[in-house]
Amino acid sequence: MYFKQFYDTDLAQGSYLIGCQQQGVAVVVDPRRDIEVYLADAAANGLRITAVTETHIHADYLSGSRELAAATGADLYLSDEGGEDWSYPFPHEALLHGTELSVGHVRLKAVHTPGHTPEHMMFLVSDLMRGAEPVLALTGDFVFVGDLGRPDLLDEAAGFVDTRFEGAKRLFDSLKRHFVTLPDHVQVWPGHGAGSACGKALGAVASTTVGYEKLTAWWAGYVERDDEVGFTAELLDGQPDAPTYFGRMKRQNRDGPALLGDRPQLKEFTADELRGRINRDLVFIDTRGTREQWDASVPGALAVPGGNSFATYASWVIDPEVEERPIVLLAADEQRANELRDRLSYVGIDNVQGYLTSLEGLETAPLKLVTPSELESLDDKLVLDVRTATEHAAGHVPGSRQLHGGRVLKNLASLPRGGTLVLHCQAGGRSLAVASALRNRGFSNVVELEGSYEAWRAHEEASASSEPAPA
């Protein structure tokens, strides 16, 4: 049996290619939309992708299942266990509880594990050349390393009301019936790792085992005692903020993401071609680092640093259901531009038409910043902390308001247009993106906290250490 995980640090998401090398066939589970990675790896290992499936209707990224099935001619297998509201309306092979999907001498058994979502499936994988017993479990957003999939996303992001309690009940039942009953040696390969908002305390290692989770996971004692009440309270407490784009992902994944097919070559723009058009008839995304953009920003540019969280931050400030203007990226070359375009496709931002390799010839100016030492004396201000509620609770600027960066654009009416609106996150990247989106929407009172919360905390610690000791 051939097995490979593809892990994306931006989404903290894992997808899987599993193949039978003897018969040269393979299945992909939970693919992203940049399907070339699966095609290349399969070809390099003499495998042909004949089946594509997914564990559930995802909320944090746009599925590549339809894309991969269309490109390869593979059969598409999807859950039909979610009821009318969570069934896929486009053609697919139905997965029901107990359905067995065979790929050569590899077998995937679908196990209905509702809780995170109503239709959720776990796949038990057996290498039939060695035996019929499962060797690993692809748990999707059911069981993570050290944590569980949150059952409140339908409330938080999809507009439902109080489904979290029924979700928690079903998750508890899924654990009792379908997880803790598995042999301890079964490997657990989840759909997400540390950094994902699909749980609150995901482990950073790639995989675990059933036995280790039963021994160490926070939920294990509740299941052993059959304490559903205590389990529910602990599960629902302290879940992270859900960005509003999660609701869009749910709808698009259920209805069927648009197929990208063979995408056109990106156009290389010149500064002359962009001058006078930025934030008017096109969107220009400046992908440089935070410090570079603080020092020299292009007026009207959308600031999204091109690091490990590029797609995530972009999804906070661009809603492709509303934004119809073409997108131009700042990128060193065409290869880098294509990489960034692929990453934007993860969250359904598909209207990227070109790139610019240099800001030479475009107007730039320093952004408005306030230092930590200046912040206290600033009158008529609101300090907006765009970190998560958990980060804010762990330490914050006194008097600041917490509003997750992924929710800001849905809450514009609650923000002042007078006085000074001071944005910060932990180090500056998140607030840089959100601040640029606010400026482009007419918030001329936006400034950023230089060095963000890390600099403010360092300033406070230095001030405290310099104070004379009490007599």
Burial class (CB in 10 A: 0-12, 13-18, 19+), 2: middle
How far apart (Å, rounded) are the C-alpha atoms in residues 344 and 435? 20
Cβ distance 281 to 325 under 8 Å?
Answer: yes
Q: Where are the domains of the chain?
A: 2-255, 267-356, 369-466
Q: What is the pLDDT of residue 199?
A: 67
Q: How do 352-356 and 369-370 pair as beta strands?
A: unpaired
The C-alpha angle 42, 47, 52, rounded to 5 degrees, equals: 75
Q: Which of 123, 121, 116 lies closest to 137, judged by CA?
A: 123
Q: What is the pLDDT of residue 471?
A: 53
C-alpha distances (whole Å) from 167 to each of 149, 173, 232, 236 are 10, 10, 9, 10
Q: What is the pLDDT of residue 195?
A: 73
| DSSP H helices in 351-428 | 372-375, 389-394
285-321 per-position pLDDT tens digit: 999 999 999 999 999 999 999 999 999 999 999 999 9
Structure tokens at 203: 């482990």
CATH topology of domain 2-255: Metallo-beta-lactamase; Chain A (3.60.15)
2-255 and 267-356 share one fold: no
How far apart (Å, rounded) are the C-alpha atoms in residues 134 and 3? 14
How far apart (Å, rounded) are the C-alpha atoms in residues 51 and 53? 7
Residue 357 phi/psi, 5-degree rounding, is -95, -15
352-368 per-position pLDDT tens digit: 999 999 999 999 999 99
Q: What is the pLDDT of residue 158?
A: 54
Sheet holding 302-303, edge to edge: 267-268, 352-356, 327-330, 283-286, 302-303
Q: In the CATH scheme, what architecture does the domain 267-356 have?
A: 3-Layer(aba) Sandwich (3.40)
Residue 405: HSE in the Cβ half-sphere, 13 Å Cα cutoff: 27
Give me the residue label for tokens 């998140």. Answer: 430
Cβ distance 142 to 189 under 8 Å?
Answer: no
Q: Which of 177, 170, 185, 174 lies closest to 126, judged by CA?
A: 185
How far apart (Å, rounded) are the C-alpha atoms in residues 345 and 278? 22
Q: Which of 3, 61, 1, 60 lies closest to 29, judged by CA?
A: 3
The C-alpha angle 296, 437, 321, rounded to 5 degrees, equals: 135
Q: Which helix (H) or strand (E) holds 44?
A: helix 36-44
Centroid of chain to Cα 88: 21
77: β partners: 53, 93
Q: What is the pLDDT of residue 241?
A: 82
Q: In this structure, which CATH number among 3.40.50.300, 3.40.250.10, 3.40.50.720, 3.40.50.150 belongs to the domain 369-466?
A: 3.40.250.10
Residue 166 phi/psi, 5-degree rounding, is -65, -40
Q: What is the pLDDT of residue 155?
A: 65
How far apart (Å, rounded) are the C-alpha atoms in residues 283 and 305? 15
Mean pLDDT by 10 residues, the chain (471 residues): 95 96 98 97 98 96 97 98 89 96 98 96 97 97 94 66 86 97 98 77 85 97 97 90 87 94 96 96 97 97 95 95 96 97 96 97 96 94 95 95 96 96 97 98 97 96 74 53
The total number of residues written for the chain in this structure: 471
